[in-house]
C-alpha cells in the first residue's frame, strides 16, 4: 500500500517536466484571470454586493498569472501567451458574452473553473516533488483555488464541497469536471467500509472529504471548448 512506503517513488521530474507543469498551470490561470477581469469590467453583470467577492478572486488569479510567468521566465523559458478564450464553450453556452442579464451563467462558469482548478493543480503536484519552492507555490495556489471554489459554490446556494460526482445544476458538458469525485478508495483504504463509516455519513461524507485529482489530459479536455 503506497501510504506505508518510505522508499522514494518519485515520478521522473526533470526540469523540462516542471516547466511543462508551470506552462499548463499558466494557461489555466490565464483562463480564470481573463474570465474574472472581463466579468468585473462588464457593465451591470456583477451586483454591487458581490463585487468584493469576485474582485478578490480576480486579483488572486491575476497574481497567480504573474507569479507563474515569473517562475517560467526564471527558468529561461517564455511564458505561454494568453489566448482569446471562447466563453460560449463552442456554443454550449450560446450567446454568453458577460451581458448584464447573464449573471447566473457567469457564476456557473466560475464554479466550473474553480472546481477544475483545484483538481488540475492536485493532479500535477507529484511532478514538482524535486523542486520544493515550485511545489510550495503550487500547493499555496491549489488551496486558494479551493477557497474560491467553496465561496462561489456557496454563493450559488450549493455546498462548498463536492458530493459524489455531482455537478449540481451545471450543464451536462461540465460533467468531466466532476467525474471521479465519487472515489471512495483512498491509499488502499475503502472509506465507506471503515468501521466507523456511519459516524461520518458513509459514502456521502466519505466522498466529500476527499477532492480528487485530474490528469493533464482530462483537464485539457475540459478546457478545450474554451480555447480558440
Give the residue, chosen from 43, 133, 172, 217, that forms a contact with another protein under the rule CB under 8 A.
133
Residue 157 interacts with another protein (CB under 8 A): yes or no = no
Q: Write each residue from 67 to 96 as x if it is in contact with another protein (CB under 8 A), else as -, in one continuous string.
A: x-----------------------------
* Start-to-end Cα distance in the chain: 43
Report residue 140 CA to chain centroid gap: 13
Helix (H) or strand (E) holding 185: strand 185-186
Q: How far is the CB of 149 from another protein (least distance, A)?
A: 7
> Which of 1/16 has CB closer to another protein?
1
In DSSP terms, 189 is beta-bridged to: 186
Give the residue, chosen from 16, 49, 172, 217, that forms a contact with another protein under the rule CB under 8 A.
49
Nearest to 108 by CA among 64, 58, 167, 59: 167
> Which of 108/135 has CB closer to another protein?
135
Sites for another protein among residues 166-225 (CB under 8 A): 186-189, 191, 194-197, 199-201, 204-206, 208-213
Q: How far is the CB of 22 from another protein (least distance, A)?
A: 14
Sites for another protein among residues 4-43 (CB under 8 A): 4-11
Q: How far is the CB of 204 from another protein (least distance, A)?
A: 8
Sites for another protein among residues 103-122 (CB under 8 A): 118, 121-122
Give the cell for residue 185: 478508495
Q: 70-79 long-range contacts, Cβ below 8 Å, gap at least 24?
A: 71/22, 71/134, 71/137, 72/19, 72/22, 72/23, 72/26, 75/15, 75/18, 75/19, 75/22, 77/19, 77/23, 79/23, 79/26
Amino acid at each position: 500500500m503506497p501510504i506505508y512506503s518510505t522508499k522514494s517513488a518519485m515520478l521522473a521530474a526533470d526540469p523540462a517536466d516542471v516547466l511543462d507543469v508551470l506552462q499548463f498551470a499558466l494557461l489555466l490561470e490565464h483562463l480564470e484571470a481573463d474570465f474574472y477581469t472581463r466579468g468585473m469590467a462588464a457593465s451591470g453583470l456583477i451586483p454591487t454586493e458581490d463585487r468584493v467577492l469576485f474582485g478578490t478572486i480576480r486579483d488572486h488569479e491575476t497574481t497567480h498569472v504573474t507569479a507563474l510567468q515569473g517562475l517560467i521566465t526564471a527558468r529561461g523559458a517564455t511564458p505561454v501567451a494568453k489566448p482569446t478564450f471562447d466563453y460560449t464553450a463552442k456554443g454550449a453556452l450560446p450567446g454568453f458574452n458577460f451581458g448584464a442579464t447573464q449573471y447566473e451563467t457567469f457564476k456557473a462558469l466560475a464554479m466550473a473553473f474553480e472546481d477544475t482548478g483545484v483538481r488540475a493543480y492536485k493532479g500535477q503536484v507529484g511532478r514538482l516533488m524535486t523542486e520544493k519552492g515550485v511545489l510550495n507555490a503550487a500547493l499555496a495556489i491549489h488551496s486558494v483555488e479551493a477557497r474560491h471554489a467553496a465561496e462561489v459554490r456557496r454563493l450559488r446556494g450549493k455546498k462548498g464541497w463536492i458530493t459524489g460526482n455531482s455537478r449540481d445544476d451545471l450543464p451536462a458538458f461540465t460533467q468531466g469536471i466532476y467525474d471521479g469525485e465519487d472515489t471512495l478508495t483512498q491509499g488502499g483504504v475503502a472509506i465507506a467500509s471503515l468501521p466507523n463509516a456511519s459516524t461520518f455519513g458513509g459514502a456521502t461524507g466519505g466522498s466529500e472529504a476527499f477532492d480528487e485529482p485530474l490528469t493533464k489530459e482530462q483537464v485539457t479536455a475540459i478546457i478545450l471548448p474554451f480555447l480558440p
